[in-house]
Structure 1
């Protein structure tokens, strides 16, 4: 059982090691932190921390560095998450202000979070399975080519081009739009997808005119609605992994592969358990099941239309957890506020 002073010594070791990248000794702790005890007493506390496998000596007669278990205890005993500076908050407000649509907002989100933390920033798209299709628009761009625009009540906007089996007369366009709208508008993404599939299953190869055009459009709409239902991530700052390569004990290639494939990170983020503030951290060896034992991920929940998703950062275990958690929380809160305001306007 670690004493209260032992936890304070662990906190000092984590903070100093993150700041200096050098193993931390008892003498430097006495010099940098006002414990009011001798270096010998600090050495005894450090010995207890080492017995508990919270710190380790990377070299003989060197100082100590936190272990993955030590980082976990440090994060679990954070008294509070320090607020961002006014300049950091202003940067978030300026960077995320007046987005074009949800895709643009989330792209800005990961860029500003990567800049604030110097890590790889990740944002999970909210689940659109429960979103409702609120509008569909068709624009003829050629006699047999149609632009389909779909809009949901979560702010998702998609544009796809569909090729028709035969040219459509201009006077048939309003009827085609009305029939497609009747099929999907006002229904959830899941329900709309089911209705489109049922219509396609009932269609025939002999369909002509508006019926044939609607079947062609439904093929593209079905693909788009299916994509709406899939979990997605946006990321920024992958180059930061290369800049911090010395912070990793092994290769960074598994991390790069995880970033490229996304599925691994989606599964990991889905398993992370948030605290009462919506904050979560998965540290070092806790990520072994996903092949990411060299990294840590910290996230904060954000909300839109009743759905909860996550935004956070991925980086080495030697990261500034309080600062990264604070940045993720601040960005998540501002993101939730923007999405709520947008929903109220609709």
Structure 2
């Protein structure tokens, strides 16, 4: 059978016509170039391949998983978490380590030192200092956690909405926050709590939330303004996503990290603020057991019975330090620039 006619009357190439890029500028063809490329690929080693690419995708971590990976290796986070866990447990079940009654006192043992079964001694009223120190964690932890949750939720909602929508609401929130920033905390507590007659922790919690939300709102506002300018938010908006979906699905998850850091550090500050207000006589009031109340009662007897002040003040300092250390560890884990 006769061969089909070819327009090219030169030598027949069984491979077929080669692409233009395979021909070198010198006109010798692409065999040498292909050989050089193959040698370079061998020198670089095998490529990632499908399996390697799949493994790399499996090893990729999100912001939260990467932060948790960093926190597990941070001794500061582990120590502070154990201390806080212990404080939370004894605040819920103080009878686990203290079998006495914090309100049961014996005046005959007033200001006595340590004795068997009473390692911290007695206060002025003859109450066991160890039992009162253990039970005092309940009020302080309750005030700190409730005030932090209230300030974080209120500040995040107002600051996030103001930063996302802007306009006159943003300007109004900024001016209102400036007004609250101008109120001295201690003076405001003396004025606000002096007219409250309740013996519960809720007036103190409400006052701390009232003065604490502007700080969280300012942080949330700035974080939301930064997050909504990212490309993925603009792409979702271009695809027709509404404001609610943008705020809840795209902006809020990527703007909540700074709020968590600020709230964690502020929790220790709020516990110290409660103790300060109780020390001044406008915070928690007897018969509520509080470290601030015990410190206030022991301040006048520091020379005669220093143990009355040492143990509640040490417990307060340890608690505040643990929460501040936890906040610093969380900040370092959530901020890639600090690693």
Q: What TM-score bracket applies, with the shorter chain setting the length?
A: under 0.3
Q: Which has the higher strand share?
A: 1
Q: Which has the larger radius of gyration?
A: 2
- TM-score, normalization by structure 1: 0.26
Q: Which has the higher helix share?
A: 2
Identify which of structures 1 and 2 has the higher relative contact order when contacts are C-alpha pairs closer than 8 Å and 6+ apart.
2
- TM-score, normalization by structure 2: 0.26
